[in-house]
Structure 1
Amino acid sequence: MTVDLEFHLKVTLVLVAAVLTLTSAFASIKRFLACRRFVRTHGCQPVSKSLNKDPFLGLDAIPWTIRAVLQHRILERTCERFRVYGNTFTVKELQRRAILTVEPENIKTILSVKFHDYGIKNRLKPFQPLLGKGIFDTDGDHWASSRALIRPSFTRDQVADLTTLEALIQDLFKLLPRDGKTIVDLQDLFFRYTIDSATEFLFGQSVGTLKKNHSDVEFAHAFHYAQRAVIIRGMLGPLKMFYPDRKADECNRICRDFAQQFVEEAFRAVAIQKQGQNNPKAELKQKKHIFSNELASRTTDKIRVQDELMNVLLAGRDTTASLLSNLFFSLTKNPAIWDKLRREVASLDGRAPTYDELRSLRYARCCMNESLRLHPVVPRNEREAVRDTVLPLGGGKDGLSPIFVPKGTLVGYNLYAMHRRTDFYGPDAEEFRPERWEDGNLQPHWEYLPFNGGPRICIGQQYALTEVGYVLVRMAQEFGVLESCDAGPWEESLTLTLCSRNGTKVCLTPA
C-alpha cells in the first residue's frame, strides 16, 4: 500500500512538473510570436551595436563601469562610447538589459509622445527610505496628484519674491574673504546657501547653515549622507540585503523626523486658519507663502505631505547648488566672460535686481544656459518600458530604423553626451562659450533638456533659474575678480546630481 502511494505521488509530481514546463514553454512561444508580429507591424530593426562581447550576462561591461566610476570619468567615458558605437546602442549587465540613446527624437518619444509607455517604478525602492512616495519616484495617478498638489506653490508671484534670496546673500557675503589671496570653496557655501533657501521656502524656517558651523547642523549632514545612500541602493539592487547601512537608516530617520515637525506645525496652522481663531503668530506666518502650509491646506494625509516635502527639498537644494558650483567653476576659468557679465550687470547701478530686471539680463541667462548644457545637473536618466513599445531611431546598420523595446527594458538617455554633440553645438561643443546662445543663434528643442521634458518637466524650473540668476548677479556686483585656485580641469562628482569633484576654489577681489 505504501509502495503504491509513493508511486502515485511520484507520478503526480512528474505530471505537475511536465504541465508547468509545458505551460511555461507555451507562454514563451506565445510571447515570442507576439513580439515577432509587433516587430513586423512597426517595421522594427535590431540595434546593430552592443557594448557587450559577452551576450549572456554582460560581465565584460562591469569592469569598465567600475574603472570609470573609480576614476570619476563615467560621463566622459560614456561620451566616448557614443562616439564609437553611435547614438543608440544596447548594454547588458547581469540580468539588466538597457538601450542607451542620445537621439532627441527617441528622448522626445520616451518623455512625451509615448509617455504612458514608460515609467520609473525602478526608482521607488532605492528612493523610498528617504523620500517616501512622491513626485520623483512614483507613476500614474499618484504622480499626477503629487504634481497637482505641488504646482500651486510655484506661481509667478512666489517665484518673483526675492526677499529671502537677498537676506541669504548677505549671510553668504559675510563668509567670503575679500583680500584676493585667501582661498574659499564656493561649492561648499552654495550647498549651504541652497539648503537654507529651500528650508525657508518649504518650512518657513531656515536651518541656517550659513550662520553656523556646517558640521553643527545635524540635518544638513544627514541629508547629504542619505542621498549618497540612495545611489548605492540603486546600484546594488537586490544585492542590497547583503550590504546593510545603519548610518543611512539613521540619517533617513533624522531627515524625515526633521520634516515631520514642520508637517505637524503646518496642520496646526491650517486648523487655526479654518477655525478663524485670532492667533497673531499664525497670522504673521500666513502673510508669506509656506510650502508645507500650502500642502496641508490641500490634503489631510500627513505622510503624503511629509513625502512631498522631502521630494521638493531634494530638488531645491542639490540641483540649484550644483548649477551654481559648475557655473562659477567655468566663470573662474574665463575672466573675459566674467568681465562681460559684470558690464551687463552694471546697468543696475549696484542695486539688487527686481524679478523683471533679472529676467532682462540676457548675457547672465546665456551663462546659465551654457553651464546647464556643458554640465547638466541631472546628466543621465532612464525609464522602464511598462509595455511593448517602439523608439523611432536606432535600428539597422545606419541607425535610422525603428527599434523594438520589450516590456521591462530600461531605456537610458544621456544628456551630458547629447549636449556635447558637435552636430548640434559645433566643433567647440566641449568649451564653455555663452556667446553661442546670443542673438537667438541657438534655439534647440529636444536636444537641450536641462529640466527634462514632456509631462514630467520640472515644475520648479523658473524658481531654480531665478535663485541662480540672483546669486550670479549679486556676486558680479560685489566682486571684480574671480581667480581660480584649481589648476586642473573640471572633474565630475556624480551622485543624484552633478557637480565639481574638487569644489569651486577661488580667491575673490571686491569690485
Structure 2
Amino acid sequence: MSQSSFINQIHSLGLEILPYFTKWYSVLIIAIIVYIGSLNLINLYNSNRLGCKNPPFYKKAGFTGVPALLEAVKRKNNGRLADWADETFDQFPNMSVYLNVCGLLKIVFTVDPENIKAVLATQFNDFSLGTRHEHFAPLLGDGIFTLDGNGWKDSRAMLRPQFAREQIAHVKSLEPHIQVLAKHIKNNNFKTFDLQELFFRFTVDTATEFLFGESVHSLYDSKLGLEYPNNIPGRENFADAFNISQKYLADRAYMQMFYWLTNPKEFKECNKKVHYLAKYFVDKALNFTPEELEENSKDGYIFLYELVKQTRDPKVLQDQLLNIMVAGRDTTAGLLSFTMLELSRNPKVWSKLRQEIIENFGEGEDANIDEITFESLKKCKYLKSVLDETLRLYPSVPINFRTATKNTTLPRGGGKDGSDPIYIPKGSTVAYTVYKTHRLTEYYGKDSGEFKPERWENMPRLGWAYLPFNGGPRICLGQQFALTEASYVIARLAQLFTTLENRDNIYPPRKCIHLTMNLEDGVYLGMK
C-alpha cells in the first residue's frame, strides 16, 4: 500500500468517526450543564426553604472563580494577601461575600465574629478541614493540624498533657539561647540587621530542644566563633527546608481543589530534608530503654520522650512532632518579629515597657533573671497589653477555612443589610479572615489600624472578635507556651538593650503567609 493510499484511508476513517466524537462531546457538555443547573436549583430551593439569602457576590471572581484564586496566590507571593483581604472587605458592609468555582463549589468569605463562632464552636460538627490533609500531608503527614474526626481527637488527647502548666512554666531552658541571641545582636554594633532572621533561628533552637531533647543550635555560626556542641545529621538543611516546604503548603491550600498543581521538585526535596532530621530524633528516642528515657529527661521536660511512652509508632511520632514544630517555632518567631517591629516604631511604648520590666526584674548586670517565671511574667500587665495588641494587628493565622460536611447555614451576612442567614451547601468552603476581624472599627474604634497597647487597659469583653489562637474545640493547645516564651524573650531583650531604632521605612510591612504569618522582608533595626 502506498503512503498516499494509507493517509487517505486514515483520513476517511477519521471523517467516519468524527460524528460519534462530536455527538458524545455534545452529550457530555449538555450533561455537565444540566448537572450544574440542577445543583444550583437544589441549592436555591434549600436556601429559600431555610429563609437564607446570599451575601454580596464577588464579581471579580467571574463564573469560574479561578481569577480570584489566582489573585489570592499572587497577592500571597507579593506579601499583600492580608492587606488585600482588609481592603476588599471595606467594600462589603455585610462582613461576608461569596464566589462560585465553575458553579460547583461555593466559597463564602466572612469576617463576622458570629459566623466565625458558628464555624468553630456552635456548629463545629457541621464543618471539617476538608482537603487540608491532602494540602499538608507531604510535609506534616497525619497530625493534629491535618486530621479530622477520630484521628484529630486521638491526636489532641495524646498531645494535651504535653502542654500542662508545669511544663509551660519551665522557662529557664530559654536563657542559654537568649545569651547566644544577645551575642549576635551586640555583634552588629548598632548597625542595621534583620532581627526576624535571628528569631527564626532562635525558635528553631528552642523548639528542637523542647520537642526532640537536643537543640540544632542554628544560632551557632562562624560570626560568633562557636562550635556546635552536638553532632546532628541534616542540621544545616533543616531550617531553610522547613521554611520552603511551608510556603508550598500555603500555595496548595489557597489553590483549594487545584492543590495538586503545586508539587515541584524543590518541594519534594525539602520535605525529605525535614523528614530526615525528624526521623533521626525519633529513631534515637525509640532506641532508648525506659530507664534511659527517664535518665535523659531528668534535667528538663522532653516532648518526644513523653510521647514515646504513649506510642512507639515512628510515623505517628514524626508526624505529631512536625505538626507541633510549626506551632512551637513559627508562631513564636512571627509574634516576636512583629512585636519588635512595632516597638521600634513606637519609642514611647518601648520606654514604658522597659520601665515595667526593670521595675520587676532589674536590668543589665543587676537583672534578676531567676525571678522571671511563668507567674511573674503574667503580672506584667503592660507587657501583656503589648503582646495582645501585636496579636490583634498580626494574628498568627490571619486567614483560615473550613469545609461544610453537610448542608448548613451561617447565622448572618445574607441579604441587603446582612441580617439574613447564609445557606452553605455540603462541600462548600467558609474562609474566615481574622486579620480583618481584628481591625473592625465597631470593636476597636476608628484607630483600629494603629498599634496602641493602651487600648487593652479598659477593653470590654470581645468574645469572638478577638481570636489570635483560633477558638472552639480546636483552639490552639500551645497558645500559653508561645505567649510565655515570647514574654520571656521580650523581657530579657528589654533588660539587655536600652535603644531600639527602626531602620526600615516600609509600612505597613509586607506579610509572608504560609501556615502562619511573619514579615516578608524581615525586621531591620539597630539595637544597643
Once the two structures are TM-superposed, the CA of residue 178 in structure 1 deviates from its matched residue by 6.5
Letter in 1 for 2:513: L
Q: 1: distance between equivalents of 2:31 and 2:190?
A: 77
- In 2, the alpha carbon distance for the partners of 1:307 and 1:71 equals 30
Who is 2:502 aligned against?
A: 484
Q: Which amino acid aligns with 1:364?
A: L
Q: Which residue of 2 aligns with 1:39?
A: 47
Q: 2:11 matched to which residue of 1?
A: none
Partner SS state of residue 322, structure 1: helix
| Aligned match of 2:477 | 459
**Distance (Å, rounded) in 1 between the aligned partners of 2:312 and 2:59:** 51
Q: 1:294 aligns with which of 264, 281, 306?
A: 306
Say whether the 8 Å CA contact 2:77–2:512 is kept in structure 1: no
What code does the residue aligned with 1:91 have? L
**Counterpart among 413, 416, 427 of residue 394 in structure 1:** 413
Contact 2:111 2:437 in 1 (8 A): yes
2:82 equivalent in structure 1: 75
Check the 8 A contact 1:50/1:85 in 2, yes or no. no
Match of 1:373 among 367, 370, 392: 392
Aligned to 2:375: 356
1:323 is matched with which residue? 335
Query: For residues 376 and 22 of structure 1, what CA distance do their matches in structure 2 show?
Result: 45
Partner of 1:176: 185
> Which deviates further from its counterpart, 170-179 or 459-468?
170-179
* Residue aligning to 1:344: 356
Q: Distance in 1 between matches of 2:235 and 2:206?
A: 18
Q: Do the aligned residues in 1 keep the contact of 2:252 with 2:260 (CA within 8 Å)?
A: no
Q: Which residue of 1 aligns with 2:65?
A: 58
Asked if structure 1 preserves the Cα contact closer than 8 Å seen for 2:78 and 2:510, the reply is no
Tell me which amino acid in the other structure corresponds to 2:244.
Y
Deviations 1:48-77 (A, max 9, x none): x11125652135535754663454322212
Q: List aligned pairs for 1:395-434, cutoff 5 A.
A: 395-434=414-453
1:309 aligns with 2:318: no
Cα distance between partner residues in 1 of 2:204 and 2:66 = 40
Q: Which amino acid is the alignment partner of residue 523 of structure 2?
A: T
2:277 maps to a residue whose letter is: F
**Distance in 1 separating the partners of 2:35 and 2:436:** 42
Q: Select which of 267, 273, 284 maps to 1:265.
A: 284
Q: Does the alignment pair 1:495 with 2:495?
A: no
Distance 1:460 1:403 in 2: 33
Alignment partner of 1:382 is 2:401: yes
The 3 A distance-change label for structure 1 pair 24 and 243 is closer
Partners in 1 of 2:158 and 2:240 — Cα distance?
28
On the 8 A contact 2:105/2:427 being kept in 1, the answer is: no
> What is the CA deviation profile of residues 462-498 of structure 1, one whole-angstrom value per residue up to 9, with x for unaligned ones?
0000000000000011111101111221222222222
Shift in Å, 1:305: 1.2
How far apart are residue 39 of structure 1 and its match?
3.0
Return the letter of the residue paired with 2:481: Y
- SS of 2:464's equivalent in the other structure is coil
What amino acid does structure 2 have at the position aligned with 1:472? Answer: I
Given that 1:436 and 1:442 are in contact with CA atoms closer than 8 Å, whether structure 2 keeps it comes out as no
Q: Give the secondary-structure state (helix, strand or coil) at the position aligned to 1:209.
A: coil
Which runs of 5 or more structure 2 residues have no equivalent in the other structure?
1-22, 224-233
- 2:345 maps to 333
Identity, in percent, stands at 38
Q: In the alignment, is the contact (CA less than 8 A) between 1:46 and 1:396 conserved in 2?
A: yes
**Cα deviations by residue, 1:61-120 (Å, 9 ceiling, x for unpaired):** 357546634543222121121111220111235565310001000000000000011011
Q: Cα–Cα, structure 1 residues 22 and 325, in superposed 2: closer, same or farther, change >3 Å?
A: closer
Partner of 1:8: none
**Residues 121 and 137, structure 1, Cα contact 8 Å, conserved in 2:** no
CA displacement 1:381-409 (0-9 Å, x = unmatched) = 00011110010001111011111000111
Q: Say whether the 8 Å CA contact 1:295–1:305 is kept in structure 2.
A: yes
Candidates 280, 285, 288, aligned match of 2:297? 285
Amino acid at match of 1:56: F
**Within 5 Å, which residues of 2 pair with 1:82-97?**
82-86=89-93, 87-94=95-102, 96-97=105-106
Q: Tell me which moved more, 395-404 or 224-233.
A: 224-233
**1:137–1:203: structure 2 CA closer, same or farther, 3 Å change rule?**
same
Q: Paired residue for 2:144, among 121, 124, 135?
A: 135
Residue 507 of structure 1 deviates from its aligned partner by 1.0
Tell whether the 8 Å contact from 1:62 to 1:93 is kept in structure 2 after alignment: no
Question: How much has 1:233 moved relative to structure 2?
Answer: 2.8
Q: Which amino acid aligns with 1:176?
A: I
- Is the CA contact (8 Å cut-off) linking 1:320 and 1:464 kept in structure 2? yes
2:451 pairs with 1:443: no
2 CA distance for matches of 1:83 and 1:39? Answer: 26
CA distance in structure 2 between the aligned counterparts of 1:79 and 1:26, rounded to whole angstroms: 35
For 2:493 and 2:36, how far apart are their aligned partners in 1? 64
1: CA distance, partners of 2:107 / 2:31: 30
**Matched residues in 2 for 1:58 and 1:413: separation?**
17
Distance 1:22 1:249 in 2: 38
2:116 to 107, 129, 132: 107
> Contact (CA 8 Å) 2:72, 2:254: kept in 1 or not?
no
TM-score normalised by the chain length of structure 2:
0.85
Question: SS of 2:463's equivalent?
Answer: coil
**Taking structure 1 as reference, are residues 177 and 183 closer, same or farther at Cα in structure 2, changes over 3 Å only?**
farther
2:214 to 205, 213, 222: 205
Decide whether the 8 Å contact of 2:357 with 2:495 is kept in 1: yes
Once structures 1 and 2 are overlaid, which stretch shifts more, 219-228 or 206-215?
Answer: 206-215
The structure-2 alpha-carbon separation of the partners of 1:62 and 1:155, relative to structure 1 and needing over 3 Å to count, comes to closer
Q: What is the aligned residue count?
A: 487
- 32 and 218 in structure 1: CA distance in 2 versus 1, 3 angstrom threshold: closer
**Distance (Å, rounded) in 2 between the aligned partners of 1:179 and 1:319:** 26
Q: Secondary structure at the match of 1:80?
A: helix
CA distance in 2, matches of 1:457, 1:168: 29
Deviations 1:234-278 (A, max 9, x none): 344565655552222121112112111222222233xx22xxx5x
**What is the TM-score with the length of structure 1 in the denominator?**
0.88
Name the CA distance, whole Å, in 1 between partners of 2:468 and 2:85. Answer: 18
- Cα distance in 1 for residues equivalent to 2:84 and 2:312: 48
- Measured on the aligned residues, the alpha-carbon RMSD in Å equals 3.0
Asked if 1 retains the 8 angstrom alpha-carbon contact of 2:412 and 2:418, the reply is yes
Mapped partners of 1:260, 1:193: distance in 2? 22
Matched, 1:469 2:487: yes
Q: Contact 1:52 / 1:60 at 8 angstroms: preserved in 2? A: no
State how far apart, in whole Å, the 2-side matches of 1:499 and 1:142 are: 29
